[in-house]
Amino acid sequence: MPEPVHPDFDVDDVLRQLTLDEKVALISGSDAWHTAAVPRLSIPRIRLTDGPNGVRGTRFFNGIPAACLPCGTALAATWDPDLVQRGGVLQAHEAIAKGASVILGPTTNMQRSPLGGRGFESFSEDPVLAGEMSAATIRGIQSTGVAATVKHFVCNDQEHERQSVNAVVSERALREIYLLPFQIAQRDSRPDAYMTAYNKVNGTHASQNEELIDGILRKEWGFDGLVMSDWFGLYSTSEAIRAGLDLEMPGPTYIRGTLVKQALGSGRLLEFELDLRVKQVLKLVKKLLPLGIPEGAEEGTVNTPETALELRSVASAGIVLLKNTNSVLPFDKNKSTAVIGPNADFAAYCGGGWASLKAYYAITPLQGVRSKVPDAEYTLGAAGWKKLPLLSRLTKACNGLPGLDMQVFLDPPSVTDREVIDSLYIDTSDIFLADYKHPRITSNLFYLELSGTFTPQETQVYEFSLSVSGSGKLFVDSACVVDNETVQTPGDSFFGSGTVEETGRITLHKGRAYHIELRFGTLPTRTFEVSGANPLGAGGLRAGATPVLDPRTEIEKAVSLARRVDQVILCAGLNGDWESEGYDRSTMALPPGTEELIAAVVAANANTAVVVQSGTPVSMPWLYAVPAVVQAWYGGNETGNAIADVLFGETNPSGKLPLSFPLCEEDTPAFLNFTSERGRTIYGEGVYIGYRFYEKCKRDVAFPFGHGLSYTSFKLDTLALRDAGEYLVLTLYVANTGIVDGAEVVQVYITQHNPSIPRPIKELKGFKKVHVAAGQTVEVTIQILKKYATSFWDEHRHAWVQERGRFTARVGNTSASTPLAADFEVSETTWWNGL
Ligand code: BGC
């Protein structure tokens, strides 16, 4: 092993010593999660890891568990940058435990539509809230010495055709809505790295977009760190290097390497242009050396009581009490309680895709409630799943644990006496082999056999399922129940490289031990081609199983339980199969059957609180009938505890919506322009996204941006505004007029009087969360940079303009109610660029 490089090494000096091959190696990853090393000069490779809601480490397959924070929208719903910053610190400690010095997060894209598959990962429909939450996360991560990577720069706001779609967006909307959160993050937290988006922006892919990377990011905002591509999101060699894209990820390279040398040879690229990129990689390595993380560090965990406490406080602070007629909530622990619904006995702790991770543990709402009300009764009520629940929760492996035994072969099942090259126990039947490694495996073609025992508790018909990126069959006592080998239908599983979920049914008898077997061939055995899908190694499989349910009987059981108890907690919502990277949602509706369940249960017991878990809004046609509704997002490991804390009043809810909850998708600003049409998506709503649209068009929403109730009441009073040159300083008093302690979010919106071009009615420009004890009053001061509060983007001058004239600061606790107002003036029209 070479001596570690001196932490103070001179970057330019090292750059001078590098051979061309070494330079070329440094600007591409060496594998999925590492940069390249230069052993000769003791430059180590550094490890990168996802982000944004936890640190997965380097292994999807049989990975090391991690702390899962609430999803982006849940974090933003806290409106508490200090708390979110602590979440960043927690993530960084997890990264260090996993030997990683770069976190791939936060996600700073915007929610143009509630249907966006990754909306849950992003923070908000408002650029100021999204920017401040991004900055807080980055400050937290980087306070430990770990690097944050703000992503995806820019306009990766939908999943449909995300690598080829051209986001056609006006210069003004790009600046005021989509770039602004990155600009604020840059201004307030100086991220060490940026990740470019997959898509094109106005005709040029973000990863080779000189105007965005070299122009806006580096020259205009003064960013002097590393820009990396999204995974497989680099589409050119010379153009991207010249545009300022430093690091191709993942490795090994597919578009640099020898192509860079060829470009140099042909003069399409000059060596100094290459050097600029190499230098940024070296600078980042140097910056991260003080962390002292050894190369190839073992991956560990930080599963401590402190981690759990921190996760619980972040999760409960983001829960939003949407409705609470007649103070139905909080519920009483001493009353008889029913917990009903598809999300009750299931921990929807994070969304799907690369943001997902194996949590140390995940508390279900039912567990959370039972920790307070041990004899709370439960029934399912309706199946809320998109894909069948995992088979592995029903089967037992040889060691007696829930899960399956997995054997690996180089030969297909047709080869008799084929050799088992690896045997292992796995606790999940959702298996993604992208990073499975074995010394005998030298290609992506190999075979698995997974087996376990299932002993049903009732005699009934069971449904089994199998979706694969590869090919496979599922057998119950040697009868083939699901065949996803001979006939395959392309679907959206495994990031678009897999099939639809195939299902099959069989009657199983109570008490009998059935042998369940899955035979799987890896990705090269797939019988169809998918053009453009990213290389995903050996593919994977997902097997589900559940008793076949009669929807009417389930609802009847729920109704009869609801009638027997004093209070009902109905847990509805989505999960990581409905909301995931890779595809967008097709509707805002809850899963089939849930709306009927809610209607029936509320009719049976009016003392019902509906808890919705989703990362983005769902439609609530049942809202008028339900007295209490709680938006609980995906809350990470402590999901169920945080929900129960709020339901029983141990936490007074203080979350506020970071995005509007429209009545239906047809009402949303991007409704006509969301998916890619022949390769382009027109951002036709311009700057009018979210509440900017609903307010301008006077369109009713189910719940407005910034809305959220409490178990106490607050009064905002006596606003004073001081124009202190660069800053506007607002002061006011917040009184807690109720009998429990609580927290309120003061929101400041700005309106320009008679602007020279149409502007939104008002825009959020500042906010502060304040904790106020019952009966107390606190003085709140909010300071806002005046130029950010007043300016819009002038497309003639390609600059922000702060126009001379009058403005009003409107202050309240939701966008729908801003009772306090104060005017101020801008005395001279000025234009500005930069931060
Ligand atoms: C995602 C990124 C992620 C990367 C690595 C991509 O598919 O878009 O957000 O960081 O994969 O997992």
Question: Which residue among 230, 232, 357, 494 is best mutated to probe the pocket of ligand 1, counting the most ligand atoms within 8 A of its Cβ?
Answer: 230
- Backbone dihedral angles phi then psi of residue 328, each to the nearest 5 degrees: -55, -40
- Give the percent of the chain with pLDDT over 90: 95
Question: Which residue among 50, 149, 583 is best mutated to probe the pocket of ligand 1, counting the most ligand atoms within 8 A of its Cβ?
Answer: 50
pLDDT computed for residue 622 by the predictor: 97
Q: Which two tokens stand for residue 150?
A: 């703000």
Query: Is the CB of residue 310 below 6 angstroms from any atom belonging to ligand 1?
Result: no
> Against a cut of 0.95, is the pTM above it?
yes
Residue range 30-67, pLDDT digits in tens: 999 999 999 999 999 999 999 899 999 998 888 899 99
- Interhelix angle for 639-647 vs 305-317, to 10°? 50
Instruction: State mean pLDDT over 825-835.
Output: 98
CA angle at 250 for the pair 246 and 253, rounded to the nearest 5°: 75
How far, in Å, from the CA of 327 to the mean position of ligand 1?
A: 43
Residue range 212-265, pLDDT digits in tens: 999 999 999 999 999 999 999 999 999 999 999 999 999 999 999 999 999 999
Query: Is the CB of residue 151 below 6 angstroms from any atom belonging to ligand 1?
Result: yes
Which residue is listed with tokens 């027109």? 682
Query: Is the CB of residue 354 below 6 angstroms from any atom belonging to ligand 1?
Result: yes
- Backbone dihedral angles phi then psi of residue 205, each to the nearest 5 degrees: -55, 140
Cβ proximity of 393 and 547 under 8 Å: no
pLDDT band at 8 (very low <50, low <70, confident <90, very high): confident
Cβ proximity of 499 and 490 under 8 Å: yes
pLDDT computed for residue 801 by the predictor: 98
Atom of ligand 1 nearest to the CA of 354: 12
Whether pLDDT at 537 is above 60: yes
Please report the DSSP string for 480-536 in residue order.
EEEEESSS--B-SHHHHTSB--EEEEEEE-TT--EEEEEEEE-GGG-SS--TTPPP-
Q: Which two tokens stand for residue 744?
A: 């309120």
Atom of ligand 1 nearest to the CA of 105: 10
Instruction: Determine which residue's CA is closest to atom 11 belonging to ligand 1.
Output: 231
Instruction: State mean pLDDT over 641-667.
Output: 98
Whether pLDDT at 6 is above 80: no
Query: Is the CB of residue 516 below 6 angstroms from any atom belonging to ligand 1?
Result: no
How far, in Å, from the CA of 280 to the mean position of ligand 1?
A: 21
CA distance 138 to 151: 11
Query: Is the CB of residue 159 below 6 angstroms from any atom belonging to ligand 1?
Result: no
Cβ proximity of 575 and 353 under 8 Å: no
Q: Which CATH class is domain 386-547?
A: mainly beta
Cβ proximity of 392 and 452 under 8 Å: yes
pLDDT band at 170 (very low <50, low <70, confident <90, very high): very high
* Strand 514-521, strand 420-426: pairing: unpaired
Q: Which two tokens stand for residue 469?
A: 């990126």
- Give the percent of the chain with pLDDT over 70: 99
pLDDT computed for residue 2 by the predictor: 52
Query: Is the CB of residue 56 below 6 angstroms from any atom belonging to ligand 1?
Result: no
pLDDT computed for residue 536 by the predictor: 78
Query: Is the CB of residue 230 below 6 angstroms from any atom belonging to ligand 1?
Result: yes
Which residue is listed with tokens 């403005």? 807
CATH fold group of domain 303-383+550-655: Rossmann fold (3.40.50)
How far, in Å, from the CA of 674 to the mean position of ligand 1?
A: 21
Whether pLDDT at 7 is above 80: no
pLDDT band at 602 (very low <50, low <70, confident <90, very high): very high
Instruction: Determine which residue's CA is closest to atom 2 belonging to ligand 1.
Output: 230
Instruction: Determine which one of 230, 405, 584, 794 is catalytic.
Output: 230
How far, in Å, from the CA of 615 to the mean position of ligand 1?
A: 18
List own/partner pairs for 560-565 with CB under 8 A and 24 or more apart.
560/604, 561/338, 561/340, 561/377, 561/379, 562/338, 562/340, 562/601, 562/604, 562/605, 562/608, 563/604, 563/605, 564/336, 564/338, 564/377, 565/335, 565/336, 565/337, 565/338, 565/377, 565/605
* Domain parsing of the chain, residue ranges: 11-291, 303-383+550-655, 386-547, 714-832
Tell me the one-letter amino acid at 302: V
Whether pLDDT at 85 is above 70: yes
CA distance 372 to 642: 12
How many other C-beta atoms can be found within 10 angstroms of the C-beta atom of residue 298?
9
What is the architecture of the domain spanning 714-832? Sandwich (2.60)
Atom of ligand 1 nearest to the CA of 107: 9
Instruction: State mean pLDDT over 626-640.
Output: 98
Whether pLDDT at 1 is above 60: no
How far, in Å, from the CA of 113 to the mean position of ligand 1?
A: 20
| Helix/strand/coil for 219 | helix
CA distance 820 to 815: 12
Instruction: Determine which residue's CA is closest to atom 7 belonging to ligand 1.
Output: 231
Instruction: Determine which residue's CA is closest to atom 6 belonging to ligand 1.
Output: 231
DSSP class of residue 391? Answer: G
pLDDT computed for residue 341 by the predictor: 98
Question: Which residue among 55, 98, 104 is best mutated to probe the pocket of ligand 1, counting the most ligand atoms within 8 A of its Cβ?
Answer: 104
pLDDT computed for residue 533 by the predictor: 66
CATH number of 11-291: 3.20.20.300
pLDDT computed for residue 535 by the predictor: 73
Residue range 411-445, pLDDT digits in tens: 999 999 999 999 999 999 999 998 898 999 999 99
pLDDT computed for residue 60 by the predictor: 85
Q: Is 422 a catalytic residue?
A: no
DSSP class of residue 220? Answer: I
Residue range 720-766, pLDDT digits in tens: 999 999 999 999 999 999 999 999 999 999 999 999 999 999 999 99
Arithmetic mean of pLDDT over the chain: 96
Instruction: Determine which residue's CA is closest to atom 8 belonging to ligand 1.
Output: 230
